């Protein structure tokens, strides 16, 4: 029996920016913020890193970039 995997969740640029802002400006732990938003903790750190590396050019398009 072949089972289909769940499709990847996609988040808007605004959602990602707000999540990173919450993580950086709040005194709450990243784990708590991630649980509240429904994402993994390490995903918050990845978004923060992307924003730091690319600035306003971060989070273009939807989901994963094509190879």
Cβ-contact 10, 62 below 8 angstroms? yes
- Do 20 and 51 form a contact (C-beta atoms < 8 A)? yes
CB 48 within 8 A of CB 21: no
For 10-65, the pLDDT digits (tens) are 899 999 999 999 999 999 999 999 999 999 999 999 999 999 999 888 888 766 66
- pLDDT reported for residue 13: 92
For residue 51 the two structure tokens come to 């924003």
Is the distance from CB of 11 to CB of 32 less than 8 angstroms? no
Confidence at residue 5, expressed as pLDDT on a 0 to 100 scale: 85
This prediction has a pTM of 0.79
Domain boundaries, the chain: 13-56
Distance in angstroms (rounded) separating the CA atoms of residues 17 and 20: 5
């Amino acid at each position: 029996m072949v089972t289909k995997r769940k499709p990847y969740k996609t988040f808007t640029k605004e959602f990602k920016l707000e999540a990173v802002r919450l993580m950086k400006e709040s005194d709450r732990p990243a784990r708590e913020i991630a649980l509240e938003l429904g994402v993994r903790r390490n995903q918050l750190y990845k978004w923060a890193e992307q924003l730091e590396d690319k600035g306003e050019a971060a989070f273009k398009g939807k989901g994963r970039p094509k190879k």
